């Protein structure tokens, strides 16, 4: 077989793959999961609706949002992602009420952000029959969330804060704080403020 025919078949194969990926992304956008412009959505993004009372998952992105490979966005609430924000590979955002991510936020790989917990109050009733409890999560502008961080329901992370790798955030983190550990504790402030230490 001539080289030009082989090359033609290879190019046709990659064209079909690219067209399939673009078609999938357009289907996602048409389902009105996303609103915004210049949004990077990978073909392998997973979106799952959970039906915990308040309907379908809604996702609103401002411009220049970048969501990377194998992320999972799931739930029945509303996710807001601000301008120029980045969600790293393998991250999971589970939202049954509201999660707000501000502008210029860096979310590293394998991060878990959830506004929901299972109820566990009864030792008699099965856990999966006790329902859920939710509280909004707010991540303000210019925050860096390190690799493997877990952010739990009801948490507010203040503007300019940094959360170190593998930390578990169970309480609010003030502006410009650097927090590490399990559970996350403040070790210093980026702006030199020592009054809260």
**Of residues 63, 64, 61, the one with CA closest to residue 73:** 61
**Of residues 168, 129, 128, the one with CA closest to residue 152:** 168
What does the alpha-carbon distance between residue 196 and residue 188 come to, in Å, rounded to a whole number? 9
Q: Which of 20, 51, 118, 147 is the catalytic position? A: 118
Q: What is the largest CA-CA distance in the chain?
A: 76
What does the alpha-carbon distance between residue 11 and residue 101 come to, in Å, rounded to a whole number? 40
Whether 118 is catalytic is yes
Count of CB atoms within 10 A of residue 130's CB?
13
> Do 20 and 28 touch, CB atoms closer than 8 A?
no
**Of residues 192, 154, 160, 153, the one with CA closest to residue 174:** 160
State the catalytic residues.
118
């Amino acid at each position: 077989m001539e080289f030009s025919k082989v090359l033609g078949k290879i190019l046709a194969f990659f064209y079909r793959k690219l067209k399939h990926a673009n078609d999938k992304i357009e289907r996602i956008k048409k389902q009105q999961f996303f609103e915004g412009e210049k949004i990077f959505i990978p073909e392998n993004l997973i979106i799952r609706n959970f039906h915990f009372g308040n309907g379908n998952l809604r996702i609103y992105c401002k411009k220049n949002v970048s969501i990377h490979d194998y992320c999972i966005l799931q739930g029945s609430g509303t996710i807001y992602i601000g301008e120029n924000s980045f969600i790293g590979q393998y991250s999971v955002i589970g939202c049954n009420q509201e999660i707000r991510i501000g502008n210029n936020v860096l979310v590293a790989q394998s991060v878990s952000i959830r506004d929901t917990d299972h109820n566990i109050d009864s030792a008699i009733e099965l856990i999966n029959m006790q329902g859920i409890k939710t509280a909004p999560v707010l991540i303000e502008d210019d925050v860096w969330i390190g690799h493997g961080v877990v952010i739990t329901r009801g948490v507010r992370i203040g503007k300019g804060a940094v959360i170190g790798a593998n930390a578990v955030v169970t309480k609010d983190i003030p502006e410009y704080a650097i927090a590490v550990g399990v559970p996350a504790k403040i070790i210093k402030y980026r702006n030199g403020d020592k009054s809260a230490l």
